[in-house]
Amino acid sequence: MLASRHMDDRIMELYYRDKTPVFDIAAGLIPGEIHSSHGQEACAVGTVSALTGDDWITATHRPHHTAVARGLEIKQILCEIMGKANGLSGGKGGHMHLYSAKHNFSSSGIIAEGMGPAAGMALACRMQGNPGVGVCFLGEAAVNQGAFHEVMNMAGVYKLPFVCVVEDNNWGVSVAKSASTAVARNSDRAAAYNALGLYVDTNDPEDIHAAMSKALRHTRSGSGPVILELKTYRLQGHMLGDPQHYVPDEEKAAFRDCTLDYRAKLEAEGVLTASEADELQARVKAEVDEAVEFAIASPLPDAENALSGNFVDEITGRANI
């Protein structure tokens, strides 16, 4: 969680560099949009820590915490976000399209688009006699996208080893869940698919881990898919630059920070002393800072690379390039 948070903190700082005085989204070290994961780290750490190497993950347009939790190298993530040649995809994907084949990990910018593939990965595992599970991360607003319904239904019909993790931060860009979603809890929608619905509202990585383990046991046994709904908080707006004016002040004041809460819990339980926690935090910060420097210093890709990559056996359009 700390690594992810610090990475996102550095990304936030670097994002604004060179973009002002008149905000130019395309300028600076990190161009484009960034959907940071500040506040949702527990969701990733709690769930992903229960997975094995056989399992598959599809993540959203807000993928950083999930990628870090899965073990993708922070150096490579940062290089990709900065569009560098040694990024995960050589700069072709960028922040929303993080891929790591060896981690069975991909993320996508189209809402709910990860549903189909994660279920397909689950189907493939079963066809191959592999115990793997397909896990799709979604935001609570994405649950209203048609693909969610279609895929949950198929997962229910085929009894796929599939878990949909809904990270409920209450906000689909600027629209609160109560204004977009007909039910109070997305985990209740599981009934529509003959799926198991689980709900965790503590934003605590251990509680989340326990729920995910239960979900995995259920789905691996062939009992069908699971919707695991996690209440969490989106601390930095939909994307960097979004001041979240639409969030009522009382709600903002009630936001929780899982990195602070979990640290407090560990100290209270005597797992870590205050100074051990400080030390851990400093160590992680230093590692991430090193990765940042590495990424900043890394070269940009050759522009010509843009023209290849559509196909495994590459044929370029002969007349129009």
Q: For the segment 30-69, give every residue that binds another protein (CB under 8 A).
A: 56, 58
Looking at 18, 24, 52, 128, which residue binds another protein (CB under 8 A)? 128
At closest approach, how far in Å is the CB of 89 from another protein? 4
At closest approach, how far in Å is the CB of 307 from another protein? 11
At closest approach, how far in Å is the CB of 214 from another protein? 24
Residue 126: φ, ψ to 5°? -65, -40
Q: How far apart are CA 316 and CA 308, in angstroms?
A: 7
Instruction: CB nearer to another protein: give 89 or 213.
Output: 89
Give whole-number Cα distances, 179 to 176, 188, 228, 264, in Å.
5, 17, 21, 34
Instruction: CB nearer to another protein: give 35 or 38.
Output: 35
Q: How far apart are CA 229 and CA 197, in angstroms?
A: 8
Contact code string over 78-117 relative to another protein, x by CB under 8 A? ----------xxx-xx---x-xxx--x-x-x-x--x-xxx
Q: Please list, in sequence order, all residues whose beta carbon lies within 8 angstroms of the beta carbon of residue 315, skipping any fewer than 6 positions away.
A: none
Contact code string over 142-181 relative to another protein, x by CB under 8 A? ----xx--xx-xx--x------------------------
Q: For residue 300, give the DSSP letter.
A: P
Q: How far apart are CA 79 and CA 86, in angstroms?
A: 6
Q: How far apart are CA 153 and CA 236, in angstroms?
A: 33
Which helix (H) or strand (E) covers residue 119, if one does? helix 115-127
Q: For the segment 280-309, give every residue that binds another protein (CB under 8 A).
A: 309
Tokens of 257: 């920070």
Contact (CB, 8 A) for 46 and 231: no
Instruction: CB nearer to another protein: give 90 or 241.
Output: 90
Instruction: CB nearer to another protein: give 152 or 284.
Output: 152
Using CA atoms in the order 14, 20, 26, 32, what is the torsion angle rounded to 10 degrees? 50
Number of H helices, E strands in the chain: 11, 9
At closest approach, how far in Å is the CB of 76 from another protein? 11
Write down the residue that tokens 């993530």 correspond to.
77
Contact code string over 248-277 relative to another protein, x by CB under 8 A? ------------------------------
At closest approach, how far in Å is the CB of 104 from another protein? 8
Q: What is the binding site for another protein (CB under 8 A)?
A: 56, 58, 88-90, 92-93, 97, 99-101, 104, 106, 108, 110, 113, 115-125, 127-128, 134, 146-147, 150-151, 153-154, 157, 309-313, 315, 317-320
